[in-house]
Structure 1
Amino acid sequence: MRIRLRKSAEGAWLVPDAPGVPPALRRFLVERDAAAIPTVQRELFAEPTPFR
């Protein structure tokens, strides 16, 4: 599992991916880690990060 930072003029995105993982497991891992990202951000920055 990896999480990459993608930047553009409109903003920045954390993009979870699981290359080389079987498709059935890949979806679970990506969804699990994507759901955890806001929790980690809140704990690190002590305030919610805006999402669009």
Structure 2
Amino acid sequence: MSKKKKYCLIILIQYLTLEEAGISALNYFGSWNEWSRDFSLPIDTRVMQ
């Protein structure tokens, strides 16, 4: 599996997992893995309802 396809599959799994848990994943749709590795980037601390 190519790196691009694997990356897209990971995003899809994250999105579906959050939706199944009742969490609107729109705020997180994208590159969790890349974003979480860079501690200089901001974190959304708002409580989701």
TM-score category, normalised to shorter length: 0.3 to 0.5
Larger fraction in helix: 2
Q: TM-score, normalising length from structure 1?
A: 0.38
Q: Which has the larger share of strand? A: 1
User: TM-score, normalising length from structure 2?
Assistant: 0.39
Q: Which has the higher contact order (CA 8 A, sep 6+)?
A: 2
